[in-house]
A and B are shown apart, each in its own frame.
Chain A
Amino acid sequence: MAQPQIPVTVLTGYLGAGKTTLLNRILSEQHGKKYAVIVNEFGELGIDNDLVVNADEEVFEMNNGCICCTVRGDLIRIIEGLMKRKDKFDGILVETTGLADPGPVAQTFFTDDEVKARTRLDAIVTVVDAKHFLGQLEQGDEAEEQVAFADVILLNKTDLVSEDELKKVEGKIGSINRYARIFRTQKSQIELAAILDKGAFDLKRILEFEPDFLHHGHDHDHEEEVKSLSLTADRPVDPDRFQKWMGALLQLRGPDIFRSKGILAVDGAPRRYVYQGVHMMMDSDWGTPWKDGEKRSSKLVFIGRNLDGENLQRGFNDCLK
């Protein structure tokens, strides 16, 4: 029997960025919704109620031997367990620890059939500490990767920095991931509707939105750096060729590609084909129908390391009718 899929929001962010404040607000405010919150440090939250579930961040590698194909086994069990409760949830939030790679969490929702049947990954929300972000980038890959994975970014603690500093931080975020929606916040104050249950990774926005973050001239364009790019096409996509190309691309380059998402105008199909991937794992579905007379164009977005835009565009062009 088909059940509604519960939207899942993954909440990441460096230590001290403001995740706990946000979670406490979600649990304590009167918003008329019921969210299960899966956390790693039980004690951190000021609130002790049965909607808070303690997780152990148990990552395991799939048997294919690939380093990027990792899944959170504890999350699979917890989601299955939550589905045994009589009271259902409007949403599920999964917090990752400050230094964790959000990849395994997101991939869990593409991998396990039972989890996929009952839940859908709605968005990855990253809380960024406006004051410390640039410093955190120097300390390792985590802060950069958390921004790379994000669909939504809360640029938090904006009251602690000047407008100039904020612009600099936003520029840096844009150079990593141009496609995340940024909200400036203080004390994680945000309308919850802006970040929860956005629907299919806010894919509509991807298609319509092409930001001009191209002015970060002082950055050297190192190959190794994480960046984002988009590919577009006005001719219809051949679904077989696309599947083959994308499958081979993710198989080969999956560890470097943190996120890929797209909306495609498939040859002869009345509806949009929407897809999203994390590393090598992806999920796709038919979206809303094209309107009469609407321009049917396709767009793909990649966020990762060592991305060669020209090469990718050539590959995509070969998938067109």
Chain B
Amino acid sequence: MKLDLSNPAWQQTLPPGRPVAADAPTAACAFSKDGSTVAFALGDGRVRLLPADINAAETPAAEPLHGGAVLALVGDPAGDGFVSGGDDGRLLRIAADGTASEIADQKGKWFEHIAAHRATGAVAASAGKSAFVVKGGEVKEFGPHQSTVAGLDFSKDGSRIACAHYGGVTVWSIGQVTLPPRRFAWRGSHVALKWSTDGKFVATGTQENDIHVWRMAQATDMRMQGYPAKVKSLSWTADARFLYTSAQPVFTAWPFSGKGPEGKPPLQFGEEGAGLISVVAAHPAAEFVAGGYDSGELQLGDIKTRRSVVLKMADGSAVTCLAWSPDGYRLAVGNDAGTLLVLDLRR
């Protein structure tokens, strides 16, 4: 893995990439499990597929798959396609060729959040107050929770899911043996959730501009305050040593190795954007990170050297989604104006 941000070429030209104008807000983007395809979830009901290879012929835009906006999208962990959720209440499995089949229909609700677990091939998706786990053709409901699920994620081994809602987080074991759910309470509305890559912590962003982290083993918790906006994007590094958070003008990473982040300031680096980071995505293997701004810029950083480069997107619309390819060499970016970008970062 080599992305040398000190290479002077980074400062002079944008890395080679494929920009596509989709003309609808982008809610999410993802690479397929095999890394060959990128998909973007669009506000006109379309899921736009593009080849990950930026020199390959462009896939033409397909007909809308969802009735309203596509709200959530992941790479299908059980195939080479994708799984999408929409405000039409449908959860769809999309094959690599773009054909779709319905997994679930929750009419009147929105499928807003989806998580995928690579090793087990399971997908978890939330609609309204319930979460649904899809595995091997079976759909199992978990809930209802006290309020709408506002974020969900799998544990490292895929045996549990955590759901964020009012008043905290609920952790369900999703295996054959049904164990009672565990509740982790913290007052207020939790609006984003990510389980740490080592399985030890669950982090949430709250409506009141702070983040909350629970240690799963001890059920103890910590709160980090001082954000100027809601933290809606959280990303753990592959080695679980850092938790990146959005809602700051520079990269902001809380250290979770050793004694943890309590009583320490977060590690901050990178150039200040005009606005705040709206989406942050840690690299799948190395110490790199990508951040998209609500003011439209894209920044790449290296936490080891604290180097970073700022890449300007064509328009100033808020970056709404980022996804790294499984091999870590490509980056997909989408924004509120429907500019889709696939970058090849090999230099």
Q: Residues of A contacting B230 with CB < 8 Å?
A: 112-114
A320 at the interface (CB under 8 A from B): no
B87 & A54 in contact (Cβ 8 Å cutoff): no
A50-B88, A74-B147, A114-B230 known; A81 vs B69 contact (CB < 8 Å): yes
A139 at the interface (CB under 8 A from B): no
B229 at the interface (CB under 8 A from A): yes
Contact residues of A between 27 and 83, Cβ < 8 Å to B = 42, 50, 53-54, 56, 58, 60-63, 71, 73-74, 76-77, 81, 83
Q: How far is the CA of A81 from the CA of B68 in the complex (A)?
A: 10
B189 & A73 in contact (Cβ 8 Å cutoff): yes
B129 & A56 in contact (Cβ 8 Å cutoff): yes
The tally of CB-CB contacts under 8 A between chains A and B is 79
A81 & B71 in contact (Cβ 8 Å cutoff): yes
Q: Residues of B contacting A222 with CB < 8 Å?
A: none
Q: How large is the interface on B (under 10, 10 to 19, 20 to 34, 35 or more residues)?
A: 35 or more
Majority secondary structure, B binding face: loop
B108 at the interface (CB under 8 A from A): yes
Q: Residues of A contacting B87 with CB < 8 Å?
A: 50, 53, 81, 84-85
Listed from nearest, the 4 A-B pairs whose CB atoms lie closest are A86-B24, A86-B44, A86-B43, A85-B69
B110 & A73 in contact (Cβ 8 Å cutoff): no
Contact residues of B between 284 and 300, Cβ < 8 Å to A = 296
Closest chain-A Cβ to B337's Cβ sits at a distance in Å of 8
A60-B189, A84-B27 known; A1 vs B147 contact (CB < 8 Å): no
A86 & B112 in contact (Cβ 8 Å cutoff): no
Q: How far is the CA of A99 from the CA of B207 in the complex (A)?
A: 26
A58 & B43 in contact (Cβ 8 Å cutoff): no
B316 at the interface (CB under 8 A from A): yes
Closest chain-B Cβ to A115's Cβ sits at a distance in Å of 11
B317 at the interface (CB under 8 A from A): yes
A58 & B208 in contact (Cβ 8 Å cutoff): no
B25 & A58 in contact (Cβ 8 Å cutoff): no
- B42 interface neighbour in A53, A71, A77, A86, Cβ under 8 Å: A86
Q: Residues of B contacting A113 with CB < 8 Å?
A: 229-230
Q: Residues of B contacting A61 with CB < 8 Å?
A: 187-188
B189 & A86 in contact (Cβ 8 Å cutoff): no
Q: How far is the CA of A62 from the CA of B187 in the complex (A)?
A: 8
List 12 contacting pairs A-B, 8 Å CB cutoff, sorted by A: A50-B88, A54-B109, A56-B129, A60-B166, A61-B187, A63-B188, A74-B148, A77-B112, A77-B150, A83-B25, A85-B25, A85-B44
